[in-house]
Structure 1
Amino acid sequence: MRHVVVMAGTGTVGLMAVFLVDFLNLFYISRLGDSRYTAAIGFANAIGFLQISICIGMSIGATVIAARLVGAHQYERAKRIVTSFIVVMTAIMIVLGLCIAAYNREILYLLGARDVVLQQASHFVVIVSPLLFLIGLGMVLSGLLRAMGDAKRSMNVTVIGALVAGSLDPLFILVFHLGLEGAAISTVCSRLAVALLGFYSLRRYELLQKPEWKYIWSDSLEVFKISFPAILTNLATPVGGLFVIHTMSRFSSDAIAGQTAIDRLIPVAFAFVFALTGSVGPIISQNFGAGLRERMQETMVVSLKLVCLCVFCAWFVFFIGEDLFIKMFALKADGAALMHLFCHWVIINNLFLGMLFVSNTAFNNLGYPLLSTLFNWGRATLGTIPFVYVGASYGPQGVLVGQAMGVVPFGIMAVICTFVVMKNIQMEKVA
């Protein structure tokens, strides 16, 4: 319990810092008092969430491989593989970021953005997307610090990003009146700070070296064997989110603003739950590499207990702070109604979302990455599309309820499957 709490606790602060950048952007944009701007950043963040999910998948692969090799005392091999992967990952992120920037208006139009909303969202994406590789580097380097057991420095790497964004957002948005362009500039500056501090912090472990070009593809493929399924798994959530915001675009800008506010609050409020996916992974992986199979199940049980505790504490805070959140984002009409419904009841569905995410982490680290991909995409398709489609006939609130209900069966089934897998591994050990 102590090991999980320490690793996840520091990871929570770090992950919360990453999500605070988007949160602060939305908060200061909402101060402008125009729901169209709030809706625009919602569309831009939907694309950004898709990109960051890829970065998270990349960091999972690097963290797992580094932790496994360090746990097996293969330090030199870990250095070579990590260095090779960072080079290839950076190249991929640059290409992806430029492609999305080039076709951003077409993508935003497909999502439902129109007129002023489309124009403002486009300004944000064009500035931020080409420099996507900065947050990719920051997340991978932070994950490598966690793999080395340095939870504090891993946390500091991402905290610096929130501090930079918190300082620059009001300056660019409210003082210089740059609107979403100001939010985009602030985001880029915060990501640059994260990447630079990540490189500086990792120097003490000498985990990076000069790339050995003859091994760069073979080494990278070894990481991608874990990263690629993790990326597919992580993409499910933002893809489902894209369908939700597309459906919500049928209603008013106020409804999109409400959905955007909820989407930005969830990662901050449940950063501890999301941090478990990055922190429990190395713990399970190191015990797996060291042959301590019985501790893996203990780690899973502890994680589920912590998920329950976190969700019910958040429910209490949101229930009593409902009016504060509505005023915080200047929500009106449909937006205020959505926040009211979320704070009272819908927030509970994050219990099942946390169960699903923790289970996916276990699958990735136990050699069953396809199971995590199956469950996450099942939730993003069968657990989202039909529920949201039916819910839309009841208005914006029906969309929110439909999105929440779809995750319940997949969260329960994922946990059951996880313990079955762990039991089979234990039986293989005995045999």
Structure 2
Amino acid sequence: MRRPTSRRHAAFCQGSIMRHVVVMAGTGAIGLMAVFMVDLLNLFYISTLHNPALTAAIGFTAAVGFIQIAVSIGMSIGLGATTGRQIGAGHHDIAQRIASSFSVVMLALTSLIGFGTALLAHPILHALGAHGEAEHQAALYLYIASPLLPLIATGMGCSSLLRAVGAAQQSMNVTLAGALISAVLDPILILWMNLELEGAALSTLASRALVAVLGIYCARQHGLLARPVARFIRADTYSVGHIAVPAILTNLATPVGGIFVTHAMASFGLAAVAGQATIDRIVPVAFAFVFALTGSIGPIMSQNLGAGQVARVQETLVAALKLVMGCVALTWAVLFLGQDIVIRVFSATGTTADLIRLFCNWTIGGYVFIGMLFVANSAFNNLGYPLYSTLFNWGRATLGTIPFVWIGTRFGPMGVQVGQVMGSVLFGLGAVGMAFNVVRTLGVRPAGPESDSIPSLPPAQSAESAMIELDDLDNEAQEFDQGEEDAQNTALSDNRN
């Protein structure tokens, strides 16, 4: 019996590019907005307590948490990419072995990071500029949440495994279940039981535990996890690490830059840190569509490149940039008109309110260039130039942040915010220019059976958002599977006739 061909129907190689981008990004944005809205509500509940130290503490814990999450994101990307290749080649047993082996390493590494963070909580927070009650509250949060970092790493790893096997909807449902339980528990623990930031930490733990348990259950349903075999752990870890290490390095760039900004804001008091923390929670909700573009355009670009349709690759890049500008313009208009409502909702006063107003009036425009950087990174990763993504991400986090923010500190907390945006302008424009240059120099390389693509590595935002952004990549696999199934059904029908 002849083996079925591995070539599958490429859904994005025909039809409107703009439609493909809008549909893919729109689907991802819904999930992103749901998860980030929970984070925003969390901040709202804390702000109703009218204690700037608590709001500032959220900012400090977020800066620390981003580093932890960046490592988990990188490992989950490597795990999903490696097992996905084996599943695509029909080697499900090898995929199961790799997933089981690397799960041991992932748990060990995240346990080390989590307990280490808890033990060094005060020195770390002090280095960020935290002091007094804000430092105490942030440390309490880290004491509760950090030791159980393996929970979210497990959830993210299982989510990647589900996407690798094509169960994208199931992966999304697991993530949204965690967001739902957090939305229910936050007001109960923070307000009703008066646990304040400790309640937020407990709610986070419950959410992550649910995601981990559901993730393991679903992964086992698909035969993706089993008892690890000791003699394979080293080799399997090397296979995953080949992809995971560059992904970790790329994702570490964003939190490193964020830590420097938080430290700079801390020098101007708790109100400045609280303002920055508020903006950091508003941005993901306001720009969920922009962030979703990162994962959405990757499959469209890679399919058209594989088909030798370089013009459609460039058209995808142009369409994504148009959508970024349109989304930022619309969001800018909404927040400009509604800034007083935002300030009242979060009970912001003084410096905190001033920073929110500056963002709503002017610096929000800088997200055009941050969106450009995100789109360019996706292009680099999917067109075979992942090193460019790492270089531009780290460039923005270092050369595009440190000198500009340092100069901005001379003009107060407003100067820090403006300085952060100025660096993004330079690196956003530079990344887009390089992306167009990459597209122009592409050769026509039709994909063969031996092609082995690697998923794009999106910039880090949070554990939950990372899982949702990567879900978009699996729409491609589902379209492929449906196309192959239809072809096989047609063939069977023809044979019967």
When the two structures are superposed, what TM-score results if normalisation uses the length of structure 1? 0.91
2:201 aligns with 184
Q: Is 2:363 aligned against 1:346?
A: yes
Pairing 1:177-216 to 2, within 5 Å after superposition? 177-216=194-233
Distance 1:164 1:191 in 2: 9
- Say whether the 8 Å CA contact 1:64–1:285 is kept in structure 2: no
Match of 1:333 among 326, 343, 350: 350
| 210-219 vs 410-419, which moves further | 210-219
User: RCO higher in 1 or 2 (8 Å CA, sep ≥ 6)?
Assistant: 2
- CA-CA distance at 1:287 after TM superposition: 6.8
Q: Is the 8 A contact 2:314 2:436 kept in 1?
A: yes
Which of residues 322, 342, 359 in structure 1 aligns to 2:376?
Answer: 359
Alignment check: 8 A CA contact 1:326 1:339 kept: yes
**SS of the residue aligned with 1:211?**
coil
Matches for 1:34-45 after TM superposition, within 5 Å: 34-45=51-62
For residues 191-229 of structure 1, give each alpha carbon's deviation from its aligned partner in whole angstroms, at most 9, with x where no partner exists. Answer: 111222223334454333443433322222222222211
- Give the secondary-structure state (helix, strand or coil) at the position aligned to 1:321: helix
User: Is contact 2:220-2:226 (8 Å) kept?
Assistant: no
Cα contact 2:309–2:444 (8 A) shared by 1 = no
Tell me the distance in 2 between the aligned counterparts of 1:399 and 1:241. Answer: 12
CA distance in 2, matches of 1:197, 1:305: 38
Deviates more, 1:62-71 or 1:51-60: 62-71
The superposition leaves residues 329-351 of structure 1 with CA deviations (integer Å, 9 ceiling, x where unpaired) of: 11111111111111122112112
- Aligned partners of 1:181 and 1:81: how far apart in 2? 37
Please list every run of 5 or more consecutive structure 1 residues that lacks an aligned counterpart in the other structure.
none
1:270 to partner: Cα distance: 1.8
Partner amino acid, structure 2, of 1:60: I
CA contact (8 A) 2:31 2:176 kept: yes
Inter-partner Cα distance in structure 2 for 1:292 and 1:132 = 43
| 2: CA distance, partners of 1:365 / 1:41 | 35
Aligned to 1:264: 281
Question: 2-side partners of 1:220 and 1:280: how far apart?
Answer: 29
Extract unaligned runs of 5+ from structure 2: 1-16, 448-497
Larger radius of gyration: 2
Q: Secondary structure at the match of 1:426?
A: coil
- Kept in 2, the 8 Å contact 1:97–1:129? The answer is yes
Contact 1:63 1:282 in 2 (8 A): no
Q: Would the aligned equivalents of 2:308 and 2:445 in 1 still touch at CA under 8 Å?
A: no
Structure 2 CA distance for partners of 1:80 and 1:198, relative to 1, 3 Å: same
Of 254-263 and 65-74, deviating more is 65-74
Query: Given that residues 293 and 426 in structure 1 are in contact (C-alpha distance below 8 angstroms), is that contact kept between their aligned partners in structure 2?
Result: no
- Tell whether the 8 Å contact from 1:35 to 1:253 is kept in structure 2 after alignment: yes
- Distance in structure 1 (CA, Å) of the matches to 2:325 and 2:100: 38
How many residues align? The count is 429
Amino acid at match of 2:177: I
Residue 311 of structure 1 deviates from its aligned partner by 2.0
2:243 aligns with 226
Out of 262, 268, 273, which is 1:245 matched to? Answer: 262
Q: Distance in 1 between matches of 2:219 and 2:309?
A: 30
User: Which TM-score applies when normalising by structure 2?
Assistant: 0.79
- After superposing the two structures, state which structure 1 stretch, 385-394 or 267-276, moved more: 267-276
Contact 1:25 1:183 survives alignment (8 Å)? yes
Aligned residues: percent identity? 55
Provide the C-alpha distance between the structure 2 equivalents of 1:17 and 1:272, rounded to a whole number of angstroms.
Answer: 12
Asked if 1:254 corresponds to 2:305, the answer is: no
Q: CA RMSD in A?
A: 2.6
2:486 corresponds in structure 1 to: none
Do the aligned partners of residues 347 and 293 (structure 1) sit closer, same or farther apart at CA in structure 2, a change above 3 Å counting? Answer: same
> Which deviates the most, 421-430 or 404-413?
421-430
1:111 aligns with 2:128: yes
Higher helix share: 1
* 2:334 corresponding residue in structure 1: 317
Q: Kindly provide the CA deviation profile for residues 260-301 of structure 1, in whole angstroms up to 9, marking residues without a partner as x.
A: 10011112222232233344445656777x666746555444
- The aligned amino acid for 2:147 is P
1:241, CA displacement in angstroms? Answer: 0.9
Among 374, 399, 424, the alignment partner of 1:407 is 424
Match of 1:379 in 2: 396
Rounded to whole Å, the distance in 1 between the matches of 2:308 and 2:93 is 24
The amino acid across from 1:8 in the alignment is A
8 Å contact 1:81–1:219 — kept in the other structure?
yes
Structure 1 CA distance for aligned equivalents of residues 314 and 169 of structure 2: 26
Counterpart pick for 1:12 among 29, 32, 45 = 29
8 A Cα contact 2:97 2:229, kept in partner: yes
My pick for the range that moved more, 100-109 or 35-44, is 35-44
CA distance in 2, matches of 1:285, 1:201: 29
Structure 1 residue aligned with 2:113, among 96, 101, 110?
Answer: 96
Q: Which moved more, 1:374-383 or 1:62-71?
A: 62-71
Match for 2:411: what amino acid? Y
